[in-house]
Amino acid sequence: MRTPLIAGNWKMNTDGKSAAALAKAVAAGAARFGRAEVAVCPPFVYLPEVGAALAGSPVGLGAQNMYHEPSGAFTGEVSAAMLLDAGCRYVILGHSERRQFFGESDAVVNRKVLAALKTPLTPIVCVGELLAQREAGQTSDVVRSQLAGSLAGLSEEQIRRVVVAYEPVWAIGTGKVATVDEAEAVHLDLRKTLESRYNAGVAAVVRILYGGSVKADNASQLLSAPNIDGALVGGASLKAEDFLSIVDAAR
Ligand code: PEP
């Protein structure tokens, strides 16, 4: 049985004080986690204080990005080893905002995934179609191709450690949420793709999260779908109670 994962992507929000306070408030809700795994992904610079605020709690720390090289002259970049040093367990890779605003291609994401997997980090790899692609009936082709490109060359052992996040771009931060049927259909499609690229065992263990305007009031329905194994939460992860209500729906 796949353990549900609820991960909060704080994006470029919070500040030093509010980041630690938010992390503490999420950790204080640990009694509500049940069997759910919970993680928060603050901006890089707040990883140390958020890590300190989470000390001793079951909430995992994650980053929102990394570079694939281990070290060197790459101004402004952060390596997997640095994230581990800062206490991270997870790293979000290939978020649609990285793809859209920073030009990250599947090949770029793939290099990052492979680098993350050389370490104990769990990559949360995002895929998702644009509204125009959905309207043109291309959703399946787009997400399958992103999955294949972003996860190219992974061994069976490596793919088992990956978390996939299906995030329809038109649902991110827009308040528009995919219906459960729409989301479940894509999750099933992704799982079948994993089965055909690897095998049924892999397809059965890889977690596929949904992301895109997940809120307390739609989480239970989404998370009750058989192939939705958790949520990647943006806006609603910035208020502890909202985020914990989504965790409630997962346990
Ligand atoms: C996200 O950015 O990963 C996300 C899902 O954002 P929101 O929940 O705000 O739509």
pLDDT digits (tens, 9 = 90+) for 160-182: 999 999 999 999 988 888 899 99
Q: Where are the domains of the chain?
A: 5-250
Q: Residue-wise over 199-208: b if at least 16 C-beta within 10 A, else e? A: eeebbeebbb
CATH numeric code, 5-250: 3.20.20.70
Q: How many Cβ atoms sit within 10 Å of the Cβ of residue 51?
A: 16
Let me know: does 4 contact 36? Beta carbons within 8 Å: yes
Residue-level pLDDT at 177: 85
Residue-level pLDDT at 6: 98
Catalytic residue, from 37, 104, 129, 167: name it: 167
Counting every residue written for the chain, the total comes to 251
Residue-level pLDDT at 32: 96
Phi/psi at 72 (5° precision):
125, -165
Residue-level pLDDT at 190: 98
Residue-level pLDDT at 114: 98
Low-confidence stretches of the chain (pLDDT < 70) are none
Nearest CA to ligand 1 atom 8: 234
Cα separation, 238 vs 241, whole angstroms: 9
Residue-level pLDDT at 175: 85
Centre of ligand 1 from the C-alpha of residue 73, in Å? 32
Residue that has been written with the tokens 């859209």 in this structure: 100
User: Which of 214, 215, 243 has most ligand 1 atoms within 8 Å of CB, for mutation?
Assistant: 214
State the pTM of this model: 0.97
Catalytic residue, from 95, 97, 129, 184: name it: 95
Helix (H) or strand (E) holding 159: helix 156-159
Let me know: does 225 contact 247? Beta carbons within 8 Å: no
Cβ of 94 below 6 Å from ligand 1: no
Residue-level pLDDT at 119: 98
Residue-level pLDDT at 116: 98
Centre of ligand 1 from the C-alpha of residue 210, in Å? 9
